[in-house]
Amino acid sequence: MGGMSAPHENLRSLLPSVHADAAFADAVVWVQGERALVGAGGWTVLLKGKDRLRRISELWSRSVKATPQTGTLAMLPVPAADADEPRPQPAQRAWVAGTFTDASDEPAVLRIPTHWTEQSPQGVKLFVQDVSATALRAAVAVDEAAELAPHGHMPLAASDPERAWDDSGYADGVRAVLERLGRPSEGPEATGEILRKVVISRTETVPADDGALWSALDRLREAYPQTWVFAVGGLLGATPEMLATQHDGAVESLVLAGSVPRGSTVQADEAAKAYIAADHRLADEHHWAARSVWEALTPVLQMDDSTFMPHVLTLPNVHHLATRISGRLKAAGGTVLDVVTRMHPTAAVGGTPTPDAVRVIAEVEPVDRGRYGAPVGWVDGSGDGEIALALRCGQAVRAAEGPDRGAGDGVANAEGVPTPDVAVAVRLHAGGGIVPGADPAEEVTEIGVKFQPMRRALGADVGA
């Protein structure tokens, strides 16, 4: 296709021109390496209740099947979007942001943009899709716990920083978890197994408007090229962990569990890398996380055990233990969301045994995780896609009261049309796996390191 434009300087400039003024919460972004997808417009479906990921997969599949495959997607070079008749392409694409558990007060999100651009080394292209609104409404109507957001606007939760742990509170949370580790889980829904690991998280709130959020994505893209940079439903971040990619029947997952901060000198960094590769406590933590994914996928994949070997993944601020798991689907017809549903939440963000660890998290943590530690990514009309784990991230939030309240509260403009929620801050999330022998003070230090990528991206003070 001729007429490709030069690479754009920032991700916001990739917004399709018809949605150039879209609120950040209404935009979708997916970046890996030199490839970037940025979209807006269209529809937002919000889902609460049980089995959210499975229901998103079913809702999307129903919408695709009910939409004619001819002329559903047009691909044009930029900036000639309005110059010629679009060339139809038989595909669609939607973006997804789940929730850590189905008990979350925040809804899972299915975003179906009408327009998005794709930036790659070959240039920039504009895509236009027309999923039938009638088909989508019919698909949503089947699900009693799903709803279309008004005028497509993504409602944001209110800022509530007072409930967050400080360093002392987080250390107390670590101690509370340590008291439960090494003992059989208890309760009517407990597995009765020994509780080996619990991943607990904390939050902090950083002021940020839409402009700061877009700038944060640009900084994350530049600083962490090995990660997947994303924005869906006001959730933004740069995650190093891929839950599942699916393409023509091939599925791959990257499990991260066990980490240490980078050293401040070459010698210290080499020592940190050697430590994480040899430490038995971290190796045990990683083993259970990787094993949980392997066991979850074995029923649906013909597994490739040649990749099942931990290695050290080095990012700018931290070393991770990582294992790549791959295989091929035993049966055709499922979506990448169906694969992810089998493994979420993983031991890497929950603990071991995961059901028991998740219950401990609900009892100990003071703030609803929402979409932190949940699946985030995209799925196309064939069911293929990329779904990562929402780590190193933050959720845009609106003001609790006052003029910045928007669509989530029914505030309308002079014409009576609900306006988008206005982001005033970001609720950052970071977590760490607690295993027997963990030191609360060390855990406080480590989780501070995990906050640094988002703090720096937002221009916040990272401290000493």
**Structure confidence by residue, pLDDT tens digits, 287-324:** 988 998 999 999 999 999 887 889 999 988 889 999 99
Tens digit of pLDDT for each residue in 196-247? 999 999 999 999 999 999 999 999 999 999 999 999 999 999 999 999 999 9
What CA–CA distance (Å, rounded) separates 149 from 329?
A: 34
Average pLDDT over residues 336-341: 95
Q: Give 77's pLDDT tier (boundaries 50, 70, 90).
A: low
Per DSSP, helices labelled H in 117-197 are 133-142, 167-178
Is the pLDDT assigned to residue 30 strictly greater than 80? yes
How does the average pLDDT of the chain come out, rounded?
A: 87
The CATH H-level superfamily of 12-457 is Anthranilate synthase (3.60.120.10)
Three-state DSSP state, 354: helix
Residues above pLDDT 90, as percent of the chain: 67
Query: How deeply is 25 buried, as exposed, middle or buried, from its count of CB atoms within 10 A (0-12, 13-18, 19+)?
Result: buried
Q: What is the mean pLDDT of residues 46-56?
A: 96
| pLDDT for res 462 | 53
Statement: residue 75 has pLDDT above 90 = no
Q: Where are the domains of the chain?
A: 12-457
Does the pLDDT at position 259 exceed 50? yes
pLDDT computed for residue 409 by the predictor: 46
pLDDT by residue (tens digit) across 431-460? 999 999 999 999 999 999 899 999 999 998
Residue ranges of E strands in 208-339: 228-232, 235-239, 242-247, 250-261, 301-304, 311-314, 318-329
Higher pLDDT among residues 409 and 451, named by residue: 451
Q: What is the DSSP letter of 234?
A: T
